[in-house]
């Protein structure tokens, strides 16, 4: 009797079964390798990769009064380069001479999570709000070049601004020990302008008391926002009031000196009346070579900008600033300060000081018209 078996009694060879199981074992092995890290031992673990990114980059906010004056553009560029070289990121905002805008911009940078704010204040009193707001968020503040008053900034870095004013007036006094002097100050809202005037008066006091020096217009003129156009206007007024009887003008910076010299040129007095300045701007150096500006005070910008960048990074790391060996009272506290040394510059040492320092090229300063 023939029948068909229910089960296939023919057995599959073992080798065939093993071949079918190979893909399964390969997949299983790969999974185990992935789970237990059977990878290249040189590959960092996840925890190690996380550790390398655990410390975020330091973020510095640079709040500037404006960029209209030539020197501030140099400060910005040198500061930014120095901070980036130290591994920090810099956010720059310019208020274009508006204290309200500066306060708003500072708040914006605080919102962006800066670790340190470096502030060149438009208004030395209004900027106190920036310090207060920053400190409320645990952010440290450096007052750069200009002191912030009625507040508690963590550091003030500048040149000795009273000494700058002294150097301006002292130089002119040596050249013209007797005569009529016109003192033209900077922005009355700038604490530096007040310090400059203190230094100028310290240099002139003995000569004023003796009667050798007479101050025309009682020394009350100040150039709003350090504006050369306002300086021109004020100088024209004084020349008219004195019938051009002015022997020396203590102009507080190179921009205002330029306005004064323009007024003197209108009366054919440029090169006859002594004029001081500050900042060693290119145009001022060219005027010194030409003979229409008597002197300027050079403040090595690369020095203050680099030291400020270093200090900002150090403060972000909660490190002490060893160079802050002095203090300056701002009406509330004695602010830890770094005060650098300014230098008198005239046609005799212009090459040695300004050009040799790389601040300007000789070709630019001595360009022919």
pLDDT tens digits along 337-366: 999 999 999 999 999 999 999 999 999 999
Q: Report how far apart, in Å, the C-alpha atoms of 178 and of each of 172, 203, 274 are.
A: 10, 13, 12
Which residues share a beta bridge with 156? Answer: 143, 337
Q: Is residue 222 part of a domain?
A: yes
Q: What percent of the chain has pLDDT over 70?
A: 84
Which residues constitute the domain of residue 353? 161-299+345-365
The reply to whether 36 falls in a domain is: no
Report if residue 235 sits inside a domain: yes
* CA-CA-CA-CA torsion sign (331, 334, 336, 337): positive
DSSP E strands, the chain: 59-64, 89-94, 116-119, 140-144, 155-159, 179-185, 213-215, 221-222, 248-251, 274-275, 296-298, 326-329, 334-340, 343-345
Lowest-confidence region among 29-43, 241-255, 285-299, 338-352? 29-43
194 and 294 in a single domain? The answer is yes
Say if residues 214 and 181 touch (Cβ distance below 8 Å). yes
Q: Which residues contact 95 (CB under 8 A, 6 or more apart)?
A: 63, 64, 65, 66, 101, 102, 105, 122
Answer yes or no: is pLDDT of 369 > 60: no
Longest dimension (CA), the chain: 151
Please report whether residue 172 resides in a domain: yes
**Structure confidence at residue 159 (pLDDT):** 94
How does pLDDT run across 102-153, given as a tens digit for each residue?
999 999 999 999 999 999 999 999 999 999 999 999 999 999 999 999 999 9
The answer as to whether 10 is a domain residue is no
Q: Are residues 294 and 174 in the same domain?
A: yes
The number of helices, as runs of H, and strands, as runs of E, in the chain is 13, 14
Q: Do 168 and 291 belong together in one domain?
A: yes
Q: Are residues 312 and 252 in the same domain?
A: no
Judge if 196 and 99 occupy the same domain: no
Residue 51: inside a domain, yes or no?
no
How many domains, in total, are found in the chain? Answer: 2
Burial 305-338 (b: 16+ CB within 10 A, else e): bbbbbbbbbbbbeeeebebbeeebebeeeebbbb
| Pair 329, 267 in one domain | no
Residues 310 and 207 in one domain: no
Closest Cα to residue 147, out of 128, 165, 168, 132?
Answer: 128
Q: Per the structure block, which two tokens stand in for 80?
A: 């930014």
Angle, to 10 degrees, between the axis of helix 254-266 and the axis of helix 282-290?
Answer: 40
Determine, yes or no, domain membership for 13: no
Q: Is 41 a member of any domain?
A: no
Instruction: Please determine, for residue 62, whether its predicted confidence score (pLDDT) is greater than 50.
Output: yes
Quote the pLDDT of residue 189: 87
Task: Determine phi and psi for 212, rounding to 5 degrees.
Answer: -70, -30
Q: What is the tens place of the pLDDT at every residue in 210-265?
A: 999 999 986 679 999 999 999 999 999 999 999 999 999 999 999 999 999 999 99
CATH code where residue 87 lies? 3.40.50.2300
Q: Please state, in angstroms and rounded to a whole number, the distance separating the CA atoms of residues 181 and 221.
A: 12
**The predicted structure's pLDDT at residue 44:** 47
27 pLDDT more than 90: no
108 and 64 in a common domain: yes
| 188 and 261, same domain (yes or no) | yes
pLDDT at 8: 42
Mean pLDDT, the chain, rounded, equals 88
* Cβ(127)–Cβ(119) below 8 Å: yes
> Given this model, what pLDDT does residue 145 score?
95
Rounded to 5°, the CA angle 90-91-94 comes to: 130
pLDDT digits (tens, 9 = 90+) for 184-212: 999 998 889 999 999 999 999 999 999 99
pLDDT at residue 327 in the model: 96
- Structure tokens that stand for 38 in this block: 């059977």
Average pLDDT over residues 68-75: 89
Same domain, 261 and 217: yes
**Domain shared by 65 and 132, yes or no:** yes
Same domain, 203 and 295: yes
């Amino acid at each position: 009797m023939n029948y068909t078996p229910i089960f296939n009694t023919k057995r599959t060879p073992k080798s065939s079964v093993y071949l079918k199981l190979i893909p399964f074992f390969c997949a299983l092995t790969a999974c185990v390798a992935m789970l237990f890290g059977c990878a290249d031992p040189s590959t960092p673990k996840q925890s190690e990769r996380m550790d390398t990114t655990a410390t975020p980059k330091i973020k510095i906010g640079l709040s500037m009064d404006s960029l209209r004056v030539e020197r501030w553009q140099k400060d910005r560029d040198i500061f930014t380069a120095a901070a980036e070289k130290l591994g920090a990121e810099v956010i720059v905002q310019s208020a274009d001479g508006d204290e309200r805008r500066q306060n708003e911009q500072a708040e914006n940078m605080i919102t962006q999570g800066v670790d340190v704010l470096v502030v060149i204040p438009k208004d030395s009193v209004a900027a106190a709000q920036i310090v207060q707001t920053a400190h409320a968020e645990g952010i440290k503040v450096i007052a750069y070049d200009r002191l912030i008053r009625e507040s508690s900034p963590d550091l003030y870095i500048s040149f000795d601004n009273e000494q700058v004013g002294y150097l301006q007036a002292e130089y002119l006094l040596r050249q013209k020990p007797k005569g009529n002097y016109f003192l033209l100050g900077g922005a009355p809202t700038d604490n530096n302008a007040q310090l400059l005037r203190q230094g100028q008066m310290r240099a002139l006091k003995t000569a004023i008391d003796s009667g050798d020096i007479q101050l025309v217009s009682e020394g009350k003129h100040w150039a709003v926002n350090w504006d050369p156009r306002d300086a021109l206007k004020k100088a024209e007024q004084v020349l008219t009031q004195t019938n051009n009887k002015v022997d020396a003008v203590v102009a507080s910076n190179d921009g205002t000196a330029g306005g004064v010299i323009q007024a003197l040129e209108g009366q054919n007095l440029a090169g006859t009346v002594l004029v001081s300045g500050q900042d060693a701007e290119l145009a001022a150096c060219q005027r010194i070579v030409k003979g229409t500006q008597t002197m300027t005070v050079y403040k090595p910008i690369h020095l203050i900008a680099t030291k400020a960048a270093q200090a900002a990074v150090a403060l972000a790391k909660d490190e002490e600033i060893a160079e802050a060996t002095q203090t300056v009272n701002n009406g509330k506290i004695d602010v830890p300060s770094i005060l650098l040394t300014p230098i008198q510059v005239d046609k005799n040492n212009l090459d040695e000081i300004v050009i040799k320092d790389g601040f300007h090229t000789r070709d630019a300063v001595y360009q022919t018209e």
